[in-house]
Structure 1
Amino acid sequence: MNKIGRLNNIVLYLKEHNGASIKELATAFNVSEMTIRRDLTLLESKHVIKLVHGAAIFNNDDSVSFGEVDYDLLNESSKQSLEKLKIGQFAASLVEPNDTIILDTGTTTEQIAHYLPTNMPLTVLCYNMNTLMAISNKPNINIIFAGGYYYKNLQLFQSPEGVKMIRRIRANKAFISASGVSQKLGVTCVEQIEVDTKQAAISSSLSKILVFDSSKLDKIGPSYFAQITDFDAIITDNNIPEDWIEFLKTTNIKLYTV
């Protein structure tokens, strides 16, 4: 498991077990106690967890907010982490043998990468470090990586050449993430630099699937990239409000809740 994946799963473990000792975490994740200490120190610096006498607990302080200005993928991975895991697991179950799929930037799409089957022949196009690491050791997956300049806070590689490459690919399914989904103002993301890549992925795919946890509903990010009706399906958690369920019934979008 790569570091980002391990950090995300440490947060899940702490939420589900109401805390854990350093020794317990080291055993659970099959790493040294020194590695766990480094992981926990990083998570504590991000105000995700609290360290108390050789143990760690999840920070349930609702006042903690990372804010969009200081957006960082590691910070984002700790939010709604259980919901993202379930969304990723379900989304991966929709993949069929010999599919070519595109995995967009984000922490929810990273979970899809973790749950892709190892015994199924697939081709995966991606452009994020966290996603690449999650699939790099999976047998039977052919990887296409659209490279470019590295944006560390997003773990995104982006370039005009990379966008052109994505537009030349034809995929069965694209799993696209969002930081905001609004009935009036459409689907948005954090950084303008993401827009061309996301739009290229959408235009190159037969089936466009939007994946996000329900906290993104009625939020508006700074950078618009699509209308809700540009998507064939939405996968989110079962906390979706009733007005959204009714709204989506008026469209041709298939709604999956997990």
Structure 2
Amino acid sequence: MLTKERQAHILKVLRRDHRVVAKVVSQELGLSEDTIRRDLRELASEGLLQRVHGGALPASPAMTDFAGRAQVSPQGKISIAGAAAGLIRSGQVVFLDGGTTAVQLARNLPPGLEATVVTHSPSVAVELVEHRGVEVELIGGRLFKHSVVAVGAVAMEAIARVRADIYFMGVTGIHPQLGLTTGNAEEAAIKRALSQQAAETVVLASREKLGAASPFQIARLEEVDSMVVEAGLPEELIDPYRRLGVTVIVA
């Protein structure tokens, strides 16, 4: 079997089962596991899947840059943002992450809300310039251009000085076993720090992120309180998260 044929088969299995087990595929094709692992490495280098121990998972389409992510599930993100905005109460201190769903959340804050939003995202801060009741604390640092957020030691130091009531976390991958993941180690560290400084962490979970994985873990699912998903998702997609004790809020 030619390399392209093997790899096409692997991608077919991934689409069908939402995972690839190298041992199973090697037995199906009568090939060595080393051959299948080599194919998985090549497919991962092309961004077509995320390698994990023993096989692979779908790669998150949210791994693209900020402009590209804005084109992924736009209506789902708007509905998620609206539901998330309804969780905020006047007088709260809110951590708002970077990302396209967070920008939508900022746009959906009720006009009468009086709160403080702390963010490391210039994009989020700009969205809140005209909101009369929201004070904005912008965390500085080195700009990670891919996601348009501040990272690094300066950002970490600023985060450590804030105690927030609620944190709205953006991720690129959510998986029952692998937890919450993203594509950059520094960005993952910033998200962990924000979560640790908040009384409650809410994950903004558009459909394309569910069951997907990215290279760097942020946290286990048991470490967050809830996740907001769009309406109309199949129950089998959501149930594994409920079984882990995560409150699933359907927008």
TM-score normalized by structure 2?
0.72
Any idea what SS the aligned residue of 1:116 has? coil
Aligned to 1:220: 213
> Contact (CA 8 Å) 2:62, 2:209: kept in 1 or not?
no
1:13-49 deviation per Cα after TM superposition (whole angstroms, max 9, x unaligned): xxxxxxxxxxxxxxxxxxxxxxxxxxxxxxxxxxxxx
Residue 91 in structure 1 maps to residue 79 in structure 2? no
Aligned to 1:9: none
Structure 1 alignment gaps of length 5 or more: 1-64
* Counterpart code for 1:243: E
Aligned to 1:128: 121
**Post-superposition shift, 1:67?**
8.0
**Aligned pair partner of 1:151 in 129, 140, 144:** 144
Are the structure 2 counterparts of residues 239 and 227 from structure 1 closer, same or farther at C-alpha, using a change threshold of 3 Å? Answer: farther
* Counterpart code for 2:194: A
Higher relative contact order (CA 8 A, sep 6+): 2
**Aligned pair partner of 1:137 in 105, 130, 145:** 130
> Contact (CA 8 Å) 2:181, 2:219: kept in 1 or not?
yes
Are the structure 2 counterparts of residues 164 and 182 from structure 1 closer, same or farther at C-alpha, using a change threshold of 3 Å? Answer: same
> Contact (CA 8 Å) 2:61, 2:208: kept in 1 or not?
no
Structure 2 alignment gaps of length 5 or more: 1-59
* Counterpart code for 1:150: L
* Counterpart code for 1:218: G
Residue 205 in structure 1 maps to residue 211 in structure 2? no
Aligned to 2:227: 234
Are the structure 2 counterparts of residues 143 and 85 from structure 1 closer, same or farther at C-alpha, using a change threshold of 3 Å? Answer: same
Q: Larger Cα Rg: Structure 1 or Structure 2?
A: 2
- What is the aligned-residue identity percentage? 21
* Counterpart code for 1:151: F
* Counterpart code for 1:215: E
